[in-house]
Amino acid sequence: MPFFAESNRLRVKGGTFIEAENVLNVHHHPSSVDPGFDMLQAASLPQAMYDSSARDPPLCFPGTREEYLHTITSWGKGEWEDSRTRVLWMKGPAGVGKSAIAQTWVEGLEGKHSASFFFSRANHWNDPNKLIPTIAYQLATKYPSYREAVSATIVRDPFVLQKSINTQFRELLVEPLRELSSEDRDASDNVVVIVDGLDECDGLEAQDAIAQVVITSIAEETSPFLWAFFTRPEPNIVASFSSSKAKDLCWDLTLPISRDTDKDIEAYLRDGFRTIRKRYHIPDAVPWPLEEDILRLVEQSAGLFVYGVSAMRFITLGPGLPGPAERLKSLLDLGNYDSQPLSKLDQLYLLIMQQIPKDILQNTLLILTYNELTGSGMNVSTMCILLNFSEATFYALLHNLHSILEVYPSGEHGSRYLRFYHASFTEFLTSLDRSTSEYCIRTQNLFSRVYSACLDLACTPPFLCSPDPTTGATLLGTLLEWRRSKIERTLCSNV
């Protein structure tokens, strides 16, 4: 007798059916498949989330930046009387500590934080197409009704993950948010979404699109969040957050280069020196560092937290000199060649680069050049194959740069990647005026070496090649595009 012989309008979903001796057993298998969520996860960039293990986030030293943290925390917790101010824009030049404030703040917001994205040009986490999916992924892990709605959207139209920022914002955020349950709606109301380093997002048009779509959403009340942006005051970003539409919605907070931060930098340096003394077992009777040395280092920092942090890493980790005392002396010997803070930072970076032995310098610069060209980042093993270095040689070539970068593990297979502590170092390397012809990585010689390596890989038969030869072809395209843009700039400058 067939199953359900006399049944009418019967619906069965899932299950395994076994008929034996007129006994029917139905074994239910709860489905854990969620293809829409899986595609959303694949399209996101977990490295850019505030709690990613791929990041080594800067944090405010305890007891510092308290005025800023207290003020923005009050806003983030909805304690302001003016509920119209729903966008925070903290702006400031490179190195003043914006990312440290953003990271410290998000860790202290607890239940008031819904999603975050930390752009990083130096680490290749700057693809604008990753922003909305990454925010949506984080929201989906917090609000079940949102996850159900956004997953259905992606299943219905998988290409939504490749559409424009405006379309993604509407279809992955605005529309699914309308389907929130009452419980999730209450939980998501006035929570904070944080975007750090918008100026490091790839492409001025994408930066403008992100700012404009958020401002428009706030003006039209299509999303329940507070939005916080931490950026440099680049002209296009200033224009976006200073527009007439943004004027009444945006809180403009400036974090300047200021000597008012000297006490904070001094506190950080003193704590760092205490740690070094313990690490090297320096007896209390040994007067190091001298009081005037600490104050001179604060003076050289000139209000830039990144200088103090980089200097302390150099004193602690910088090879090429006998020990921390000699490294501190080399820093103090830099002198004050220029009143501009970035010039002091450049002098520190030059000092770090000068510790690289001359016989390995070109190969070290080759690694840095290759890494800068790899827009999505490439693991160490692949880099070594393409550049024809053993992994042992690779690590030896970077031995002198531990104060400004590290190699970190990521993923289930133990892949390792380069990570830079601050974007200012890669900006230094790519600027001929700042790094000089000796250390600039945008030179014809270095590009020619990378080009030859990519060409060799692209021409290798697939069955002999690891990694995929398309890697070489892709990088060849990047190099050719760089060459084309360089020619165009040259032609424009001659007009």
Quickly state the pLDDT bin for 114 (edges 50, 70, 90). confident
Amino acid at the residue 245:
K
Q: What is the pLDDT of residue 424?
A: 87
- Averaged pLDDT, 69-74: 91
Q: Please check the confidence at residue 194 and state whether its pLDDT lies above 80.
A: yes
Q: Among candidates 217, 149, 223, 141, which has minimal Cα distance to 189?
A: 223
Give whole-number Cα distances, 256 to 94, 132, 194, 282, 477, in Å.
10, 29, 20, 37, 40
Give whole-number Cα distances, 24 to 30, 214, 254, in Å.
19, 56, 71
Quickly state the pLDDT bin for 200 (edges 50, 70, 90). very high
Strand, helix or coil for residue 26: strand
Give CB contacts under 8 A, 24+ apart, made by 77-81: 77/109, 77/112, 78/112, 78/190, 78/226
Q: Please check the confidence at residue 486 and state whether its pLDDT lies above 50.
A: no
What percent of the chain is predicted at pLDDT more than 90?
Answer: 48
pLDDT tens digit sequence for 164-191 = 999 999 999 999 999 999 999 888 888 9
pLDDT tens digit sequence for 134-166 = 999 999 999 999 999 999 999 999 999 999 999
- Averaged pLDDT, 440-444: 87
Quickly state the pLDDT bin for 372 (edges 50, 70, 90). confident
Using CA of residue 43, residue 48, residue 53, residue 55, what is the dihedral sign?
positive
The answer to whether the CB of 114 falls within 8 A of the CB of 142 is yes
Q: What is the pLDDT of residue 28?
A: 37
Quickly state the pLDDT bin for 371 (edges 50, 70, 90). confident
Lowest mean pLDDT among 207-216, 297-306, 436-445, 463-472: 463-472
The separation between the first and the last C-alpha atoms of the chain, rounded to the nearest angstrom, is: 89
Q: What is the pLDDT of residue 337?
A: 54
CB burial of 83-119 (b: ≥16 within 10 Å; e: otherwise) equals eeebbbbbbbbbbbbbbbbbbbbbeebeeebbbbbbb
Q: Please check the confidence at residue 471 and state whether its pLDDT lies above 70.
A: no
- On average, the pLDDT of the chain sits at 83
Q: Please check the confidence at residue 358 and state whether its pLDDT lies above 60.
A: yes
- Averaged pLDDT, 198-214: 95
The answer to whether the CB of 88 falls within 8 A of the CB of 226 is yes
Strands 415-420 and 405-410: antiparallel
Q: Please check the confidence at residue 209 and state whether its pLDDT lies above 80.
A: yes
Q: What is the pLDDT of residue 16?
A: 43
Q: Please check the confidence at residue 363 and state whether its pLDDT lies above 60.
A: yes
Lowest mean pLDDT among 74-83, 225-234, 239-248, 483-492: 483-492
pLDDT tens digit sequence for 78-109 = 777 667 789 999 999 888 889 999 999 998 88
Q: Please check the confidence at residue 327 and state whether its pLDDT lies above 80.
A: yes
Strands (E), 200-274: 226-231, 250-254
- Averaged pLDDT, 294-322: 89
Q: What is the pLDDT of residue 237?
A: 95
- Averaged pLDDT, 378-383: 82
Q: What is the pLDDT of residue 489?
A: 47
pLDDT tens digit sequence for 27-41 = 333 345 789 999 999
pLDDT tens digit sequence for 254-282 = 988 888 889 999 999 999 999 999 998 99
Q: What is the pLDDT of residue 339?
A: 53
- Averaged pLDDT, 188-212: 94
Q: Please check the confidence at residue 11 and state whether its pLDDT lies above 60.
A: no
